[in-house]
Every structure is written in structure tokens, then in C-alpha cells.
Amino acid sequence: MRASPAAACHRSHSLDWYARAAGKRAAGIDIEALSDARLLPSPGEHYLTGTYPPLKAMGPADAVSVIDGATAELNLYIHLPFCRQRCTFCHFAKEISASDARIARYLDALAAEIATAARLFGPRQIRSAYLGGGTPSVLPPDDLNRLLAAVSESFPWTADTEVTFELHPQVVRDTPALDRQIRVLSGAGVNRITFGIQSLDDHVLRILNRGHTAAEAIDLIRVLQHGPFSNVSVDLMYGLPHETTESWFSTLCQIVGEGVQKMNIFPLFLKATDPVSWLYSRKPEVFPGRDQRLSTHLITDQYLRDSGFTPGPVLYYSRAGQHSAQQESKFNDIDSVNLLGLGVSAFGYLGGTQYYNQCDIDSYITAALSGRPPIWRAAHLDGDERSRREAMFALRSAGMNRAAFRGRFGDWPEIVLPQLARFARLGLIRLAGDTWVTTDIGAYCVDGMAAALASDAVRRRVDAANAAITEPRKSLLEQHDYSPLGRTPPGPRQVVTAGQAG
């Protein structure tokens, strides 16, 4: 139920109080030691660990062999690459203002891939399905009906299956169309909605080319609170150009005041192929620097905890139970419930193999319509690489239980992965009972830890891929590699202090 207007700017304490508290917490962190160890990245180096091994460390794939050994229960991710505008920070596969014929052809290919997967896999239970993009809500209701029917016919779900759909705040501009879309989604079994807001500063939204206003984002929150979906999550992003601590805290307070129960909090990830990185290379001084970004993380974490939110997987917060079945499964038990990625550029993990679909839309369509899995590159993980991957992702979420790790990999995690001792000495992880979990600063450095856990073999393959890339902005490998490994900042390497930003 929506909070009253009087609560819209509710805060447990003032921004000054939270800033002082963040300063005290930061004073106990050896920032320079973490930076020197490349565990506390600069803004230009900060990047999410999306897969392991990363795309640049994968090789050509025998598509059918990739699916061997897939688990009896699966999570589905389905990628829809169509958007009305290009957000300057977005690095996912997308096509802007595609024609109706182009969208129809893609949906034909996606339906063919779904049917091929169902034929090859046979009966499978579905724990969750996530329709992302791109901007899935650009599809008209008839196309949505067709797509959701194709998925549910091949991979049936139940009322208990978490089915997530991404909206865009632009949808509030056409109330009748939005009403129809909501009816279609609800009728097809969608029970979780997520959408990106990023900021409630209209100046920042224009720089990001988000295509919506702060008012439209708030309107969508309110529409959904009166609709059939009780599970709604929003995305916010800090570290944005011309962002100040005050503007970020105002965004956070307004979202909490509106009664939002779940949110994803991302720092801006700068990637050389994204337009926002071109701005960073020319004007790094308009972006929050390392110190301000760290302070923002600490302020956000404290404020949300004070407001009744509980951290889930790193970057996810909820004050209404489980944040996301798919995210928690992906981080905590992907070897028990594999991830099947469908659509252009979708990546998944099946039977110990990390893989990517074709990342070029035309190549994807051709492969999918041929009746073969449109898998582009893959890497099968042996026991050593699986232990590394498990540590990387477990530390993002529920933590790494020592006894369970020993049972799977034959020895204690500190023996298999000696890097853990250094993380503990630097205050990034701690033991909670028999489980290694991240500390407050560890949550901020989790991707630096992931990079440190990568094997030498994977690093060599990434370095070789980088050496072969002559035009990074045109390289599909560069565009779709979601990993901090082998990355160089997209602009000047100097650290911009908090006082210079804004």
C-alpha cells in the first residue's frame, strides 16, 4: 500500500548524520591498501562480475554438448533487445526503434529457440523466468501474449514460479495501453515487475538519455501499487554524471517514502563501448570520484537498513521477504538449479558450462531459425574453476559455507583459495559461524575479490582476446564481456575526489 505524502521524504536521520556515520566507517578502512591491491577499484575500473569465466575467456562451442548435464529444475532468462532510445550507460544487446517486421522476425526466432530448447531438454521444472532487455514493455499486448504463451507451453510454470517482467517508466504516458499490458502480464502468470529509475534528478536523467522524467517514475510506482502485482522492484544507480550526495540521498528518500519494498542499487559501471564512458574520458570531474562513491555506498546501506530493508545478494535490498528467486538461485545454488539463457546475447550456465548466445541480432536470428541452439561461445569449468566461481558468487550473496565447500571440492576453502586469507586480513570477509561472508566494505569490493580469485589460465585467455581486439568499440567481445578482468579504464586514470565532483 502506498505511503502517505507526509511520509514521502521520511528519513531516520539527516543526510549530515549519515555522512558523518559513513565517514566514521570509512576511517576504519585502509583505502590505499585496498586500492593498491586492486580490490577497491577506481570509478573507471569498477565493473560487475556477471559470468565466470568471462566471455573473453570462452571459446567456440558445440551447442548440443553445452546442454549436457543440465539440472532437472531450471531458471530462465529471456532477452528482448528492443528500445525506444539508447541509454548512455547501457551495455546490453539492443536495437533502437526497430520496425514491426523486425520485431516480428526476432520473436519468430525466439519462439524457435524456445521450441528447440524444449525438445533438447525434455520435461523440466521452472523455478523462475525473467523477461529482460532492452525494454520488453515496448512490445504490444498481442506480441506479449504470443511470447508468454510460447514460453509457458514449452516450459510450464505454476502459480509458485517467480515470473519477472521489466517495464519502462514511459509506459505511464498511455494509460489505456498500460492497463491492457498489465492485464496481459497478470493473465499470463507474470507476478513480479521490475523497472529502472536510476535517478530522480531530471538533469541527470537527460544526460543518461533515459527517456522518462522523475515524475513519470513516481507515477509508475503508484500505478503498480494499485495493480495486481505485489512483488515490485526498482533499479537505482549512483556514481552518475553531475550527481551530488544530496541529489542521490533525495532520490533514495523519495523512493523509500513512496513505499517501495524492493530495490537494486548499482554503481555506474563504465565500459569503453558505452556513450557515458566517452563523457567520462573527456570530463571525469563531473562524475563522483572514488571517495564519494564509497561514501554513497555506505550512506545508502545504513539508510536502507534503518528503513527496514535487509540486504540480499550484494546490491539488492528488500523489506518484504525474498528479493528475487532468480538472483538468489543464480548466486547461491546455480549448480543445483541451472540458468538457461534465451534470446540474443543471453548467457547461461548448464551442467558446469558457462555460455553465451550469439550477440549479433542477425546472427542470432539465423541460428535460432535453423533449429539449432544459437550458442556462440562457451567454457566448461573443471573442479578448480568451479571452486573459484562458487566463491565469487557465494560471497555476493548468502556466503560460502566451509563444510559444504569442503564436501564439494575436497578441502577447506582457505586451502583451495589462499586469497581468502588476504581478504580476511584486509577486513573484506569474516566468519559468521562456519560461513565466510562479506563485511560492509567487502560488499563494495566484491568484484575486486572476484577478479583476484580468477585463475591464471583464465587471465591468459582474457589477455589474448584483448590483444586481438583492434577496435574495441566495434568488438562484440568487448561490448558483451561483463567482467572486471583485463579491463582498462575508459578515460583518465587519475582519482577524482568527492570535492571535485558535482
Structural domain contains residue 432: no
Three cell numbers written together for 438: 562479506
Question: Tens digits of per-residue pLDDT, 180-223?
Answer: 999 999 999 999 999 999 999 999 999 999 999 999 999 999 99
Helical segments of 173-272, H only:
175-188, 202-208, 214-225, 245-257
Higher pLDDT, 117 or 490: 117
Tell me the per-residue pLDDT of 427-439, one tens digit each, with 9 for 90 and over.
999 999 999 999 9
pLDDT category of residue 501 using cuts at 50, 70 and 90: very low
pLDDT level of residue 69 (50, 70, 90 thresholds): confident
Domain membership of residue 164 as a residue range? 59-331
Tell me the residue length of the chain: 502
**Measured torsion, CA atoms of residues 441, 444, 447, 453, in degrees rounded to the nearest 10:** 10
Cα distance between residue 26 and residue 13, in whole Å: 19
- Rg of the chain (C-alpha set): 22
Asked, for residue 287, whether it belongs to a domain, the answer is yes
Q: Report how far residue 417's alpha carbon sits from residue 432's, in angstroms, rounded to the nearest whole number.
A: 18
How far is Cα 389 from Cα 12, in angstroms, rounded to an integer? 38
Mean pLDDT throughout 481-490? 81
Q: What is the pLDDT, as a whole number, of residue 502? A: 27
How far is it, in rounded angstroms, from Cα 224 to Cα 105? Answer: 31
pLDDT given at position 496: 34
Helix H or strand E encompassing 283: none
Q: Say what the pTM is.
A: 0.92
C-alpha 401/C-alpha 391 separation (Å) is 10
Q: How confident is the model at residue 43 (pLDDT cuts 50, 70, 90)?
A: confident
Tell me if 176 is assigned to some domain.
yes
**Which residue in 252, 179, 178 sits closest to 214, CA to CA?**
252
User: Is pLDDT of 500 > 80?
Assistant: no
Q: Is 59 left (phi over 0), alpha (psi -120 to 50) or beta?
A: beta
The answer to whether residue 67 sits within a structural domain is yes
Q: Is residue 12 part of a domain?
A: no
The string of pLDDT tens digits covering residues 458-480 is 999 999 999 999 988 889 999 99
CA distances from 128 to 7, 61, 153, 239, 498 (A): 34, 26, 15, 31, 41
CATH number at residue 302: 3.20.20.70
Rounded to the nearest 10 degrees, the angle between the axes of helix 100-121 and helix 361-369 is 50
22: in domain = no
Q: How confident is the model at residue 499 (pLDDT cuts 50, 70, 90)?
A: very low
Q: Which of 91, 163, 170 is nearest to 131 (CA)?
A: 163
Segment 2-23, tens digit of pLDDT: 333 333 445 668 999 999 999 9
Pairing state between β 192-198 and 375-380: unpaired
Count: domains in the chain: 1
**Which pLDDT score is estimated for 46?**
82
